[in-house]
Structure 1
Amino acid sequence: MTGMVAEPRPVSVRPPVPRPLPVTVSGSSVHLPATVVTNDELTRTLDTSAEWILSRTGIRERRRLAPDLAVSDMCVAAAPAALAEAGISPGELDAVIVASYTYDQPLPSTALMVKERIGAHRALPIDITQAACANGLQAILLAAHLLQVSARAVLVIAADCASRVTDPRNRTTGVFFGDAAGAIVLTRTDTPDAGILAWDFGSQLSHSVEIRAGGSRLPTSEQTVADREHYLRMDGRAVWDTATSCLPQSIRAAVGRAGLAVTDIDHFFLHQANLNILIAAMAELEVPMWRAPVTLDMLGNTGSAGVVTALHQARSENLINAGDTFLLSAIGAGFQWGTLCFRQA
């Protein structure tokens, strides 16, 4: 009719997919301490059974760092193989990032110790410490952004020695943790559409996993030592509830921002904390478990190193091909969690 204007039809506008951060994993390696601790050995000092440990955690054995060694020693041992695969000399590194909540000591920097010992004399040393098992993901994201500014090669080492902060009398924490270091070298890539496609990070303050003493609120004293306040405390139910909800949500968010569906992802490198958590998260995502490599059965929960051990296992078996999509996802104390979505160059 004359004088009337038709109502505009609503248009569904999909947000544009961001351009990838053009970085790639050029090399990787894992260092494991020599000492193996089986479930049977733990039953000698803890009120538990090997069968209970396996059914509740999926862990059969874990590694323990020798008493005269520290996290920096594992980092130094892990670095050469990753650098060699990447074809990068230590002197070419622009940054060395150590991701660990079990650093050698409060000061000086563990990353500084590592960079000096491997000969990365021009590298910027950076420590990522208080996201616990999510430290490695934060370190990788930081490395990727450094590579967009001026860096050309960054070494990220995720390493933890949880045996030093685990109460040997506590069954809840005593069965889970193992010691390990995982190293990756990140470099720039010119491959179109390859790199970090998207990411998602989140947090929610909780004291469900904590080490209470040793900081400015509760400084070290004879009393804090006597009260065993320097050991890790963990509320298993809170960890389960948070991990099984936040990990799938974070994965979906990151994958969605990349313009993909969860079913488009070829490989899932998840936080190696507990096999039952992995199974629950993958079931929630409706993705078969064979897409998520498992290393915790023989290594335990290796903290910051966990996702790197899974990634390195797949790379060493030549399972990741050019054009494959994969993600890293983990949750740590705090709670802090995150997901990085990659396309292989």
Structure 2
Amino acid sequence: MHVTASGTAHSSHSGTALLEAPRPGEGTGLTHPVGIMGTGLYLPERVVSNTELVRTLDTTDEWITTRTGIQERRYLAEGQVTSDMAIAAAHQALERSGVPACAIDAVIVATFTPDQPLPGTALTVMHAIGARSALPLDLTQVGCAGAVHGIFTAAHLLQNQHFRNVLVIGADAGSRAVGPADRTLRPFLGDAAGAVVLGRTEPGYGIVAWHTDTEPAPDVQIRAGGTRMPTTGATVAAGEHYLKMDGKAVWRMATDKLPATILETARRAGTEVTDIEHFAVHQANLNILRETARVLGIEPGRIPLTVPFLGNTAAASPFTVLHEVMENRV
């Protein structure tokens, strides 16, 4: 039996349990069971090591490694945008699922780094892959929780008899969202895209439970660019269009909420966390993941890691882990 529990913590906290063995699905409330048909992943070619970063940032390799556990990350090439990564990940997910693009009924793209305010990134992606009759949906303001929110949304769309397959993509170019000289945040963020094709499955298989818990998150924000603070020359000069984060506040929230939501998701699934084989957890920081394993009382190896070599890839993050688990499962 393979079980994957995924959780996120930042602006919201959520978990989804995915099961591949007959089991009751009381934890979802879904009339039709929904499962993963295939996954895809895209990583930019450029690898940026800590050694390269410290040449231009007021920090050290030791500080980065100790605080984050990150040794390297990927950066999107100049001239490329978020949708380029999303399209590549989508193609791979479609290929692995065996579902043609023309059979996709909705394309959901979760990102906090869209190509531009309008048109939506999902619209760009669906036309590029040939899913021309799909419903495009953009989740642009849920940050690192985008992957789980996208799966949650897709599962509900699939309760409609006219929806058979939904493509969910998490894609972020975090390297474009932080100031060039930001010694605190720049080492954390990397660029990537992950995708899953969701479809109806046999009773007793697929998603069996979830739990969500949200709260205001002023500790992670981009202040400028909206109606509260429209972009001006002054906001650009002040760097208000870059991501800002209170690391200590996020640590407290993540280490409190993440284990709690995983425990609640497992309870709703009718299983013990000690029986779960893989935890596809948002890869924000290696220390957060280690603390989560300690609180849950599980071996750290049950939380697969991509953060050391990819960094925090935001909405793509849980999908990077899920893809690795799906590709390497027995």
Fold conserved (TM > 0.5)?
A: yes
Task: Please say if 1:51 is aligned against 2:53.
Answer: no
Q: Report 1:188-337 matches (<5 A).
A: 188-190=200-202, 192-319=203-330
Q: Report 1:90-169 matches (<5 A).
A: 90-150=101-161, 151-169=163-181
CA distance in 2, matches of 1:203, 1:45: 37
**Change beyond 3 A, Cα 1:19–1:113:** closer
CA distance in 2, matches of 1:265, 1:18: 16
Deviation at 1:19, TM superposition (A): 6.2
RMSD in angstroms over aligned alpha carbons? Answer: 1.2
Q: Which has the larger radius of gyration?
A: 1
CA distance in 2, matches of 1:136, 1:218: 27
Instruction: Name the aligned partner's letter for residue 209 of structure 1.
Output: V
CA distance in 2, matches of 1:206, 1:305: 20
Deviation at 1:20, TM superposition (A): 6.8
The answer to whether the 8 A contact 1:176-1:301 is kept is yes
Q: Report 1:11-50 matches (<5 A).
A: 17-18=26-27, 21=30, 22-50=33-61
CA distance in 1, matches of 2:238, 2:124: 32
Deviation at 1:53, TM superposition (A): 0.8
Deviation at 1:305, TM superposition (A): 0.5
CA distance in 2, matches of 1:19, 1:84: 28
State the partner residue of 2:186. 174
For structure 1, list consecutive stretches of 5 or more residues without a partner in the other structure. Answer: 1-15, 320-345
Instruction: Report the 3-state secondary structure (helix = DSSP H, G, I; strand = E; otherwise coil) of the residue aligned with 1:238.
Output: helix
Please say which of residues 251-260 and 208-217 is displaced more in the overlay: 251-260
Q: Return the TM-score normalized by structure 1.
A: 0.86
Deviation per residue, 1:141-180 (Å, 9 max, x gap): 1101111113111111100001111111111101100000
The answer to whether the 8 A contact 1:20-1:195 is kept is no
Instruction: Name the aligned partner's letter for residue 70 of structure 1.
Output: V
The answer to whether the 8 A contact 1:100-1:158 is kept is yes
> Which structure's relative contact order is higher, taking Cα pairs within 8 Å and 6+ residues apart?
2
Aligned residues: 303
CA distance in 1, matches of 2:194, 2:27: 29
- Name the % identity: 51
The answer to whether the 8 A contact 2:73-2:311 is kept is yes
Deviation at 1:56, TM superposition (A): 1.0
CA distance in 2, matches of 1:239, 1:206: 9
The answer to whether the 8 A contact 1:275-1:296 is kept is yes
Instruction: Report the 3-state secondary structure (helix = DSSP H, G, I; strand = E; otherwise coil) of the residue aligned with 2:95.
Output: helix
Deviation per residue, 1:71-129 (Å, 9 max, x gap): 00111111111101111111000000001010111111110010011110111000011
Deviation at 1:206, TM superposition (A): 2.5
